Structures are given as C-alpha cells and as structure tokens.
A = this chain, B = another copy of it.
Amino acid sequence: MATKTEVAAAARALFADQGYVATTIAAIAEAADIPAQTIYSAFGNKAAILRSIAWEVAGTLDIDRAHEEALAQPDPRDGLRRAANIQRRQFEQMYDVIDVYQEAARTDPDIAHDLQTIAANRERAFRRHIDAIASHLAPGVSVDDGVAIYLTLVLPEVYRTLVIEHRWTTDSYENWLANALITQLLRSP
C-alpha cells in the first residue's frame, strides 16, 4: 500500500542520515506525515521497517539467479567479471541499507540474526562459485582460501573506501574488483 512505501522511503532516508539507533518512529512519522500509530499497526517496530526496506530492494536485484549465471560461464574470468557486476549492482542499490543493518545489528538481536543469515547465504553462493572454478584456481590457493579472498574483496567496507570515501565511480569499482578477483584467484592464462 502507498502508506507503507512512504514510510519505508522516509525511514530509509532518516536511517542513512542520522543512523538507525538515533531514528525514532516518531521522527519517521513526522517525515512521512503519517501518524505514528499507523506505522506501528503497519510494521510493528523499527526493526520491521528496516527489514521491509532490505527485502524490497534485494527482491529487485535477483541475486541468486545472477550468481548461477556467473558460475556457469565457460571462461572463469567472465564468471568473476559477472560476480564483480553483481556486487556493484548490490552496493549501488543498497549500500546505505547494508550500512544501517550493520549498525542496527550491534543493538538489535533480530537484525543481528538476519545479518548472520545473510552472511551465511553470501558465503554459500561464493563457495558454489569457487567450487565451480576449482580447477582454475592459482597454485597455492585452496577452495577455502578462495572463498576467504572472495569474501574479503567484496566487503562493504571496501566499497565504502573506494566509492563513498574516495569517490571512485561504480564502473571503476567494478573493474577493480573484477581484476582483483581474477588476479588473486585464477592461474595466469
């Protein structure tokens, strides 16, 4: 319903601007011009608003299918380039939400639990990809090493450092990430 969309949009802006902990339902109500009681009825609590924002954005990205397509590429370099593109799209669309999730997880056990589930799903997807290209890994890089390196290069803090703090374009980030994944994971051609 339109109200939920308006509340989510107002909450997302406030979370990104002032942080999750500092944002009250009252402030969201004021920003969205919707009574706080309506927000409580529609969502229940602040954590539920954040979850609803995350699900909404993540749903538009179709990440699982993109990962399957990436690992199915005949050339493992093409697969890692696609993997870099997945991360770029994900961070472009929802870096702010990921950042707020990490903040909220420090104080909200439900959000912390969500984040563990999301991290486990991410790691599983990366491991499937590394398993699929295991015969192409660089000498000395085991599947476990490959997963750890993959997880490292796609950290939100890496995106933050390059794109948010150092104003790289998301194109440059994607190219850097693709090259870093290829150089660090694969045998030289």
Residues of A within 8 A of B (CB): 19, 103, 106, 144, 147-149, 151-152, 155, 157-158, 161-162, 165-166, 168, 176, 180, 183-184
Once A152-B161, A155-B161 are accepted as A-B contacts, the answer to whether A166 and B144 lie under 8 Å apart by CB is yes
Q: How far is the CA of A106 from the CA of B144 in the complex (A)?
A: 33
* Residues of chain B with a CB closer than 8 A to A19's CB: 106
Known contacts A19-B106, A158-B158, then 7 further A-B pairs from the complex at CB < 8 Å, ordered by chain A residue: A103-B106, A147-B166, A148-B168, A149-B162, A155-B155, A155-B158, A180-B184
Q: How far is the CA of A157 from the CA of B155 in the complex (A)?
A: 8
Which residue of chain B has the shortest Cβ distance to A166 in the bound complex? B148
Q: How many copies make up the complex? A: 2
Which residue of chain B has the shortest Cβ distance to A157 in the bound complex? B157
Which residue of chain B has the shortest Cβ distance to A148 in the bound complex? B166
Could you tell me if A162 and B184 are in contact, using CB atoms closer than 8 angstroms?
no
Q: How far is the CA of A128 from the CA of B162 in the complex (A)?
A: 19
Once A155-B155, A157-B157 are accepted as A-B contacts, the answer to whether A162 and B148 lie under 8 Å apart by CB is yes
* Residues of chain B with a CB closer than 8 A to A161's CB: 148, 151-152, 155
Q: How far is the CA of A19 from the CA of B106 in the complex (A)?
A: 10
